[in-house]
Amino acid sequence: MARAYTQETGRTETGPRRTGGRFRRLLTGLGGRLARLRRDRGIWRRGLVPAVLAVLLALVMTFHAKVPNGVGNLGSLLETFLPWLGLLVPLLLAAALVRRSATALLALVLPVAVWLNLFGGLLFLDKSHGRGDLTVVTHNVNADNADPRGTARDLAASGADVVALEELTSPAVPVYERALAGAYRYHVVRGTVGLWSHYPLSGTEPVDIKLGWVRALRTTVTTPKGAVAVFVAHLPSVRVKFDAGFTAGQRDASADALGHAIAAEKLPGVILLGDLNGTMNDRALASVTSQLRSAQGAAGDGFGFSWPASFPMARIDQILVRGVAPVSAWTLPRTGSDHLPVAASVRFPAR
């Protein structure tokens, strides 16, 4: 005779509840869907368009250096925002799922593998190793900065030994000098760039980057661990125009001139601080980047995007080194500028 089981709700059941019923129904339903997919001969024929687009995306990321610059500097524009091509993968994945296409899903393996090979180390690995012998900061403070005094206080609070500033205006220079005087004993300003330091500066001179006015300097910073040549530079801006593409001719010529100056440097230790208006992927900066290591790439956590400050999309503010080893790199909180300050700590070689 069946026994009745009554719950607090007053509902009567004819036997114990079968706890595994829902799971078995789920498995049964899943098995049925898989069986239908196996019988669906179109699963490999559908979704050819997203599959082809996935292959093209992988090819573009793999051979980005082959994209020509002859038309609107298209190659440099692509390389500036190269990491963001990864956002196309979720869109192609959605298209593959909507089309129920195995071909499109398999094709997506290619761009995912290429993107991870290019940028996975930056995104998933923290390569920092603590604090080194010298901490440096560079910041494009923005000529239209409404709060230069507050920006200076924020930079002084960073604890950096050396601070480089770009896009200084004549009215703002005295404000920065007064605000940073208590934290930094030594400083130099040439044109629109300047350097503040805990340690003595010597041999300061402007660097001609073919603009007709001074936007770069070179000085020697003498630290307890040794002397290092520090370059501060602000390369010309680039523009994306509908009729002309990525206009970067003046920046590229200035980068070449800066590269020649760095190549002629006699000191073994070199640090370049500044707004290069380009990323490490941009081939147009090869005259500079081929000689130096990126502190962010070698010892940073993540991409370290610095511009625009409201929603950083590219790292155009750089700390590049030679003859000293980067041990950590990071971005600082937003100031009154449209750029984020970027920082790095470096270690001198053992004597």
pLDDT of 44: 79
For residue 229, the model assigns a pLDDT of 98
DSSP letter string, 125-150: -B---S--SEEEEEEE--TT-S-HHH
pLDDT of residue 69: 77
Predicted confidence at residue 125, as pLDDT, reads 74
106 within 8 A of 44, measured Cβ to Cβ: no
pLDDT of residue 118: 92
Other Cβ atoms within 10 Å of 88 Cβ, number: 17
- Spatial separation of the C-alpha atoms in residues 107 and 326, rounded to whole Å: 38
pTM value is 0.82
For residues 75 and 283, the answer to whether their CB atoms sit within 8 Å is yes
Cβ neighbourhood burial of 250 (10 Å; 0-12, 13-18, 19+): middle
Q: Among 235, 234, 271, 229, which Cα is nearest to 136's?
A: 271
216-250-270-272 Cα dihedral, nearest 10 degrees: 70
Angstrom distances, CA of residue 254 to CA of 234, 268, 284? 9, 23, 10
b or e along 204-225 (b: 16 or more beta carbons within 10 Å of the residue's beta carbon)?
eeebebebeebbbbbbbbebeb
pLDDT in tens, the chain (351 residues): 444 444 444 444 444 455 556 766 666 655 555 555 555 667 877 889 999 999 999 999 999 989 987 766 788 888 889 999 999 999 999 999 998 898 999 999 999 999 999 998 877 777 777 789 999 999 999 999 999 999 999 999 999 999 999 999 999 999 999 999 999 999 999 999 999 999 999 999 999 999 999 999 999 999 999 999 999 999 998 765 544 445 577 889 999 999 999 999 999 999 999 999 999 999 999 999 999 999 999 999 889 999 999 999 999 999 999 999 999 999 999 999 999 999 999 999 987
Report the relative pairing of strands 134-140 and 342-347 from DSSP bridges: antiparallel
Q: In terms of C-beta density within 10 A (0-12 exposed, 13-18 middle, 19 or more buried), how is residue 118 classed?
A: middle
Which amino acid does the sequence have at 98?
V
What's the CA gap between 219 and 272, in Å, rounded? 11
Burial class (CB in 10 A: 0-12, 13-18, 19+), 258: buried
Specify whether the CB–CB gap between 172 and 194 falls below 8 A: no
Distances (CA, A) of 1 to 11, 14, 15: 19, 10, 11
Rounded CA gap, 324 and 269, in Å? 6
Q: How far apart are CA 296 and CA 316, in angstroms?
A: 12
Confidence at residue 34, expressed as pLDDT on a 0 to 100 scale:
52
Token pair for 272: 């370049």
pLDDT of residue 13: 47
Instruction: Give the Cα separation of 279 and 305 in Å (integer).
Output: 10
DSSP-derived letter for residue 14 is: S
